[in-house]
Structure 1
């Protein structure tokens, strides 16, 4: 309908006008696609992180995605969608070939593919085709025939490190983690997704909730779970890269976001926060830095807990010396151990989406068994919306409804949680949940959902679900 085209045009136009107005009022220019990324992108000072700009960007992207789907010939959309795998594959090749590091010294002038290829160990004719495809998708720039330079997006592939003889083995160590995201996504993740069709349709695995019956096992021909594979000698490089990739993703969800996601002042002084699956405890550490009267227990696998002790001793030794933090190695699904005091909060940050319903319900029941009458279950995780209007008992205060004809979940502006949902389905049989999906497993685990709140500081930070013993 022509009216939809007009509405989408107006959404894009008015939203861009708002972005330009903020740039003018703040004296900040909007970053150019042709220039490498600036560190301000990862700080509150970045123009994209201004609340009005962030909201306008979401509207522009959602409308642009829908406009393309509306105006482009449907057969063209089908073809590009069916062959969209070429983009992550090409990004993975560029990352593995260290193209971003190789061409960095050339700056905006770029480097000829004949000079890039010997340092990457690739055929220049083939590499040129990969880089030209990426430049066509706005990753890198082709500044002259077969001459390529870094741009805003491709600069994210640059670890900032100098090339060395054993660079492939050490590339991601102490790096920002963004290149590791591409390496992970184009390797074990894409290979797992490649086998999803068979796993989801074969009777033996179609209804499985087991972590070792996924596309990952089918591709790598193993019975080990994704996590167990990482602990093998063969999986060590991928494990280390995955850890760095997760640290890169943390730039989207900084640990300090936990402070505004829940009212920590409501926890009694001297209260106990149990950080379930807390890793190094970097998130609960942020809590007690702001509320030093609180006590913490960090729970995770025994191998992880050793690193947690080191992390706290390096970053908050006073809490360690005052014996206000304990470290417990255990399996998620074992009964809770004897705790220093009744827990006031069980905190699960980005843990629930790692487990299928069968297993997360088991974990919730273990926590419920150890809970006191006033214990709160605080879950920080994605809540994916339906692609249609769907009233629910619990809803986030998202502000105004997206203007018509945009999808209620903002479509292309909100793809990341839906992509992660399928990614983790492919390798660990888990997934993101709708609010109704969360409520279902919370109730089955013996808890009652009482609050759902959007993080008030940033729309991109994860929401919080609060439950109490049922």
Structure 2
């Protein structure tokens, strides 16, 4: 296909997929997502409706490629190199609490806003106007600032607010320090030789650093809720994607389960199961710990345990969601070995994590997300995402008595389920 034919093909795809999406929304009496302050912040297309859901993903991929081709490689590379400025204006919005100081029901002048956030007008205005190019705020008339739907999320959605703070504030310098960390500690698998360590001049591993820096543990917890609620990462896929009912009245140990929101969701769907949620002492501190819902207090428990220490709880399933992708091979193997003292025959290890696709096999949206996650693991923990063969090899290396069973991706999910059995 020639370059001209590709442009035409993409524009035809965009028209075709847009028609599918808009006709679906119209048939349901729904509106599309909008940047209007009172608009929808998510596209209201259910993944259960496969045709319009896939059309939306195809539309995202086609518009992205067409945008890149219309720019051309040279201009596209120039834009890519200075895209970090997007994070700069977003960081300023977060750090100076600009969204919180723009009224939800009226406009505010730049001068008044500058006084409220204690930032000089001539420094504030360029940052806010740059944020507007990313649909954060808008300027209904010259000199006045108003909320968009995007900026309103920063005020009303604590999870998204934490997500923005986590990446634009907490990880801003560490991301920029990854290459320096790679030069300083080549071939390292250690969790305290990362961009976070280089940027903060710290020798603490990420999860220890997380608990030492004021407010970071709680912000991280909220940010992970935002991530867990994203398309393809919703807890429902975990609830529905595994045959939990076959466990009967079994016990599940949710290792590194944070505040237990995933276990709570599974417990509500399967009322015979008992859940023991384990995490480190720092995640069980009074200022961080969540609470167990009243309806689950007889079947769910928040307990303290470090999964690098010997496991003492005998259970039917040991569940680890978004844990292994946070550690290098060396430490993943150690987690599996520390489980062995508690394992009964046929106990299952169930991992809910990512699986890297072969290049070009997954859709563009999914592949971009997975490749980004793969790189991000270097920033904080010196880890990576894994292919299916890598998962099987982890179990084999940890102990020959582990039997790798299978890995599968629940429908509509971007996360996989990886299962092994203890045979010893």
Normalised TM-score (structure 1): 0.81
Could you tell me how far apart the structure 2 residues matched to 1:343 and 1:249 are? 28
Could you tell me how far apart the structure 2 residues matched to 1:142 and 1:48 are? 33
Question: Which residue of structure 1 lines up, in the alignment, with residue 394 of structure 2?
Answer: 441
Work out the number of aligned pairs and report it: 415
Question: Which residue of structure 2 lines up, in the alignment, with residue 59 of structure 1?
Answer: 58
- 1:37–1:153: 8 Å Cα contact kept in structure 2? no
Do the aligned partners of residues 69 and 437 (structure 1) sit closer, same or farther apart at CA in structure 2, a change above 3 Å counting? farther
Which residue of 299, 306, 320 corresponds with 2:278? 299
Question: Which residue of structure 2 lines up, in the alignment, with residue 17 of structure 1?
Answer: 19
Confirm whether residue 417 of structure 1 aligns to residue 370 of structure 2. yes
- Please give the residue correspondences for 1:303-314 in structure 2 after superposition, counting only pairs within 5 Å: 303-305=282-284, 311-312=291-292, 314=294
Do the aligned partners of residues 101 and 346 (structure 1) sit closer, same or farther apart at CA in structure 2, a change above 3 Å counting? same
Question: Which residue of structure 1 lines up, in the alignment, with residue 330 of structure 2?
Answer: 358
What SS is found at the alignment partner of 1:142?
Answer: coil
Do the aligned partners of residues 412 and 128 (structure 1) sit closer, same or farther apart at CA in structure 2, a change above 3 Å counting? farther
- 2:135–2:150: 8 Å Cα contact kept in structure 1? yes
Do the aligned partners of residues 66 and 455 (structure 1) sit closer, same or farther apart at CA in structure 2, a change above 3 Å counting? same
Query: Is there any run of 5+ residues in structure 2 with no aligned partner, and where?
Result: none
- Please give the residue correspondences for 1:218-257 in structure 2 after superposition, counting only pairs within 5 Å: 218-232=198-212, 235-252=213-230, 253-257=233-237
- Please give the residue correspondences for 1:317-336 in structure 2 after superposition, counting only pairs within 5 Å: 317-319=297-299, 325=300, 328-336=303-311
- Please give the residue correspondences for 1:174-213 in structure 2 after superposition, counting only pairs within 5 Å: 176-202=158-184, 205-213=185-193
Query: Is there any run of 5+ residues in structure 1 with no aligned partner, and where?
Result: 161-174, 320-324, 389-407
Which residue of 147, 152, 155 corresponds with 1:150? 147
- 1:442–1:449: 8 Å Cα contact kept in structure 2? yes
1:326 CA displacement: 5.6
Normalised TM-score (structure 2): 0.89
- 2:32–2:40: 8 Å Cα contact kept in structure 1? no
CA offset digits 1:173-207 (Å, max 9, x no partner)? xx6221111111112212111111111233xx121
Question: Which residue of structure 1 lines up, in the alignment, with residue 4 of structure 2?
Answer: 2
1:303 CA displacement: 4.3
Could you tell me how far apart the structure 2 residues matched to 1:74 and 1:312 are? 52
1:368 CA displacement: 4.3
1:85 CA displacement: 0.6
1:440 CA displacement: 2.8
- Say what the alpha-carbon RMSD is for the aligned residues: 2.6
- Please give the residue correspondences for 1:313-462 in structure 2 after superposition, counting only pairs within 5 Å: 314-319=294-299, 325=300, 328-337=303-312, 339=313, 342-388=314-360, 408-412=361-365, 414-446=367-399, 447-456=402-411, 459-460=412-413, 462=415
1:84 CA displacement: 0.9
- 2:354–2:414: 8 Å Cα contact kept in structure 1? no
Higher relative contact order (CA 8 A, sep 6+): 1
* Structure 1, 87-96 or 283-292: larger mean CA deviation: 283-292
Could you tell me how far apart the structure 2 residues matched to 1:90 and 1:20 are? 33
1:423 CA displacement: 2.3
Could you tell me how far apart the structure 1 residues matched to 2:414 and 2:14 are? 24
Confirm whether residue 70 of structure 1 aligns to residue 64 of structure 2. no
Question: Which residue of structure 2 lines up, in the alignment, with residue 277 of structure 1?
Answer: 256
What SS is found at the alignment partner of 1:298?
Answer: strand
